[in-house]
Amino acid sequence: MGSRFVQIALILLFIVLAAVFFSRVGQMGVEELSYTELISHIESGNVATLSINSDTDIAEGNFLPTRDTEGNETVGRYKANLPPEYTEILAASKEQGVSVEIAKPSGLSLLFNPTTILWIMMLALPIAFIWFIFSRSAQAGGQSQAFNFGKSKARMMNPEKARMTFKDVAGLEEVVDELREVVDFLKDPAKYQRLGAEIPKGVILLGPPGCGKTLLAKAVAGEANVPFFFISGSDFVEMFVGVGAARVRDLFDQAKRRAPCLVFIDELDAVGRHRGSGIGGGHDEREQTLNQLLVELDGFEPNSGVIVLAATNRPDVLDPALLRPGRFDRRVVVDSPDSKGRGEILKIHLKNKPIDSSVDIKAIAQRTPGFSGADLHNVANEAALLAARRGLDRITMSELAEATERVVAGPERRSRIMTEKEKLLTAYHELGHAVVAYRLPGADLVHKISILPRGMALGYVLYLPEEDRLNETRHQLLNKICVMMGGRTAEEVIFGGDEITTGARNDIEHATEIAREMVTRFGMSEKLGPLAFGSKHQNIFLGKALAEDRNYSEEIAAVIDGEVRRIVSECHEKATQILDENRAALAHLSEILIERETLEGREFGELMKELDESSPSGDVTGLPDQTTSEPPSDPLSIGLSGSGA
């Protein structure tokens, strides 16, 4: 639209300049005369012709030809304004025999007069500009689009462009089976109707961000041979009352006319939040839009042949009326993939990328627990970028391993200058985490230790569970707290309490949070028993409490605080005992870590074994290590213990 306006403006400007130019050219060589001078020229016999415009009272004509010194003949022209009464000129012209013509111009001659064209163009330019401004505001959804407010913003998927199918979805076999049945119902409804089955009204996909909800909708669009409308929940909501409801009606009117069809609403929580919780009680625009959506999904008039597919990662905030059977008959949970699923997803994302024969996709899948499909796509893309940056023809395991760490903690910041004291403090801090994890039976394996700044951390320890864990025992949670307190404890053991740093902030926050969850939610406190304290409205996928209703007394609150303090303090004391007995190991490993800056988990384990064998008793602490215990794992335990985190 902007380029079109510029073209129109340039054309009009060219016409104006052309009109001015030709009007100036037409006036060149014309002598302007007064009324008296014109009469004098006529009486002197210098005028050959006279043309009088009766509308404008302008006289024009030619002088008699004259010759210059070289004998060239020239004919001059003149122009003069006449008074309302010009009988004197007519009489003088008759007496001298001058040819007189009284002309009355036509409408076309007036229209194409240069002066007229100039005025028309000068008025056309601001009119065109105003039209451009209003048309732009209409496209942007401004006030000038009032008559189009009620139109739905849903777009229909072009079957030729829907190239994604269920073959492009991996790690979600059960979810694909559910959706394949919906697509099959649309293709062959008689297969199900002969047994009395009804077509489902709606399917809602629930899961954390990045797990493939929108990807599944694209696959459904590619598989279904029916019209597929897609829209975001935020497209319904406007500041003007009634607009969202009108858009919902228009969307379903379009869907009914093209039934059977599918309607996909992404981010359903934008319009489907619990009623009565917004500004204005039950009268705000969003809730009116939700009411209309409820009616269209399962109201008095059924929507035969229209299936609604929705996606959200906030099922806890949705209105109960929206989730009842008859509206969304099926709830499909799209969760993070397991190790096998992660391998299949990586194969899809690496399918069109040249990878080296040494790449072990299974190993990459095992070291990425808790990664969503979007995270794995990011890993594959980062690996390709790293390989291109290094001038390689193929992606190797080195690029994939580095890409995994970049996704977890961010890129390395080698340009950040650390003093020798900061390096020493960071090395002891990270080794404190690693040594405690190594000595505790059942703790997650140490995969990598680094004192290179990455992301927000000055250093980090990466833990690698071998299996996905769905539940955690009390012993495993206590091990987590002990490992988290290992960094601060190492600073205290080696440098004393006055030299502790702020790098343990994130560790302390997580340790306290786990301890509080053990007491208030998991019933793991001997003093309080198996009771839950505090009613929490929680996002079950994000794992974060949105609000908490305190349903216990001040006395119970004091007991909860005491239990949390006791759990963290006991874990701190246990970490102190382990590190105090491993002072020699900390000192030796810190020198190696400062020199190398990074220690792989295998190297760390070998160094710890050498230290155990070289000690007089054969074991530095007398505690079992990770090589003699079963290494349980946790899909969320892969993380950082960073000095700057």
Cβ contact 213:315 at 8 Å = no
Which DSSP symbol is given to 74? E
Gap between the Cα atoms of 609 and 619, Å rounded: 9
Beta bridge partners of 549: 535
Which residue type does 350 have?
Answer: L
- Quick check: 170 and 347 in contact, CB under 8 A? yes
Catalytic, out of 430, 491, 492, 563 = 430
3-state helix, strand, coil in the chain (%, to 5): 50, 15, 35
Contact 545, 538 (CB under 8 A): yes
CA distances from 452 to 123, 400, 461, 462, 484 (A): 68, 18, 11, 13, 19
What is the SS3 assignment for 627?
coil
Encoding tokens for residue 8?
A: 């129109």
Strands 228-232 and 155-156: antiparallel
The C-alpha atoms of residue 483 and residue 437 are separated, in whole angstroms, by: 6
* DSSP class of 454: B
Cα 405 to its chain centre, rounded Å, is: 23
Side-by-side strand order, sheet with 261-266: 155-156, 228-232, 261-266, 306-312, 202-206, 330-333
Rounded to an integer, what distance in angstroms lies between the CA atom of residue 538 and that of residue 546? 5
The one-letter code for the residue type at 198 is: E
Residue 293 token pair:
């959506």
For 183, the enclosing helix (H) or strand (E) is helix 173-187
| Tokens standing for residue 526 | 């001997």
CA distances from 325 to 178, 336, 386, 434, 627 (A): 16, 26, 49, 50, 52
In angstroms, the CA 202 to CA 3 distance is: 44
Contacts 24+ apart (CB under 8 A), 514-521: 514/477, 514/480, 514/481, 514/484, 515/481, 515/563, 515/564, 515/567, 515/568, 516/560, 516/564, 518/474, 518/477, 518/567, 519/560, 519/563, 519/564, 519/567, 520/560
Q: What is the DSSP letter of 457?
A: B
d(CA 184, CA 358): 41
Catalytic, 430? Answer: yes
What are the helix (H) ranges across 49-171? 87-96, 107-111, 114-139
Write down the residue that tokens 């394996």 correspond to. Answer: 445
Strands (E), 134-225: 155-156, 202-206
Q: What are phi and psi of 94, to 5 degrees?
A: -65, -40
Alpha helix segments (H runs only) across 329-392: 339-349, 361-366, 373-389
CA distance 564 to 543: 20
Among residues 87, 112, 80, 134, the alpha carbon closest in space to that of 15 is found at 112
Ranges of H-type helices in 258-360: 285-298, 320-323, 339-349
Nearest-angstrom CA–CA distance, 472 and 452: 31
User: Which residues does the annotation mark as catalytic?
Assistant: 430
